[in-house]
Amino acid sequence: MSDNRTLLEVQDLKQYFDINMGFFRTKPLKAVDGVSFSIRRGETLGLVGESGCGKTTVGRSILHLYQPTGGRVIYDGKEIDSRASLKEFRQKATMVFQDPYSSLNPRMTVSDIVAEPLDVHKMYRTKAERNERVMELLGYVGLNSEHASRYAHEFSGGQRQRIGIARALAVNPEFIVCDEPVSALDVSIQAQVINMFDDLQEKLGLTYLFIAHDLLVVRHISDRIAVMYLGKMVELADAEEIYNRPLHPYSRSLLSAVPLPDPKKARSNHRIVLSGDIPSPLNAPSGCPFRTRCPYAKESCGDSMPEFREVERGHFVACHRLAEI
């Protein structure tokens, strides 16, 4: 259960990558462009959007796996702006990667994979203490001592992701970036892993940034949901509020595509199909990034980027034409 104390604050985060255009010219690809949000202690913030919108880059930039181009990351009241603050931050914040196949070293045993963060941060005194901690971590994720001496290729996708989660828990973190942790898994396994995230949050008091494109998964686990489009945040609100009353045209389109288990509701559901493809972040439209696909767009939408503002208590939207929609 979240409390009202802010654990992580992201202010105007920017992540640009220089792309070689030939003849010694480069052009910035604006993967993340001015994203701001905060996460409370014990909360799960879901981050959703189409492939290529910058969700994963946000998570990696927060942890400084990519050095941010601009903006501030403030953790527990302290800005992450030096090597010392980053080292301290990395003992409190970790990441579960998307692909359980490529994120585990095939030459290391499960025991060594899980213990690697302990080795890096020198978090044990004796080998026995290290082994004891590895067994404790494997127990958290439903694995046992028999698995410790085996290699990653001997496990199924769901088991590999459990190993990745155990590794993320090794340093006793408070905050975990979950980068589409179930998208590479079978649907039957997804539910088990999601429930495990819930149990671990309750047991260890964790805070999550949960990145995904599956809106049903995000609804199940998230307290609040943020919607991204082309490197920018377009809507942020409580999970139920986003699902029951999305205000931004892009959020409405995303949610209309969610399959409904009730056949009657599914037949009456009006699917909002967007025209055109998502533009390249190398050549993003002027003004509102969504205007080239928005059914409500006018010429004036190209003049300036809409302000990401609070329109109701806790409900933030970036749209020029919100009042008319």
Q: Which long-range contacts (CB under 8 A, 24 or more apart) does 142-149 make?
A: 142/196, 143/110, 147/110, 148/109, 148/110, 148/111, 148/114, 149/109, 149/110, 149/111
> Is pLDDT at 1 greater than 70 in this prediction?
no
C-alpha dist (Å) from residue 303 to 235, 288, 289, 313? 20, 8, 11, 28
Distance between CA atoms of 112 and 117, rounded to whole angstroms?
9
Mean pLDDT of the chain: 90
Could you report the per-residue pLDDT of 214-223, keeping only the tens digit for each? Answer: 888 898 899 9
Q: What is the mean pLDDT of residues 306-312?
A: 92
Could you report the per-residue pLDDT of 99-148, keeping only the tens digit for each? Answer: 888 899 999 999 999 999 999 988 899 999 999 999 999 999 999 889 99
Could you report the per-residue pLDDT of 146-160, keeping only the tens digit for each? Answer: 999 999 999 998 999
Band the pLDDT of 271: cuts 50, 70, 90.
confident
pLDDT attached to residue 205:
94
> Could you tell me the residue ranges of all domains in the chain?
6-92+174-184+205-317
Higher pLDDT, 57 or 276: 57
Q: What is the mean pLDDT of residues 179-191?
A: 87
Residues of the chain above pLDDT 70, percent = 96
Higher pLDDT, 87 or 268: 87
Give the predicted TM-score (pTM) of the model.
0.91
pLDDT attached to residue 21:
84
Rounded to 5 degrees, what angle do the CA atoms 179, 181, 184 make?
Answer: 120
DSSP string, 134-194: HHHHHHHTT--GGGTTSBGGGS-HHHHHHHHHHHHHTT--SEEEEESTTTTS-HHHHHHHH
Sheet architecture: strand order including 78-79: 25-40, 6-22, 70-75, 78-79
Could you report the per-residue pLDDT of 224-259, keeping only the tens digit for each? Answer: 999 999 999 999 999 999 998 999 999 998 888 777
What architecture does CATH give domain 6-92+174-184+205-317? 3-Layer(aba) Sandwich (3.40)
Phi and psi at 269, nearest 5°, equal -70, 125
pLDDT attached to residue 262:
65
> Is pLDDT at 264 greater than 80 in this prediction?
no
pLDDT attached to residue 260:
67
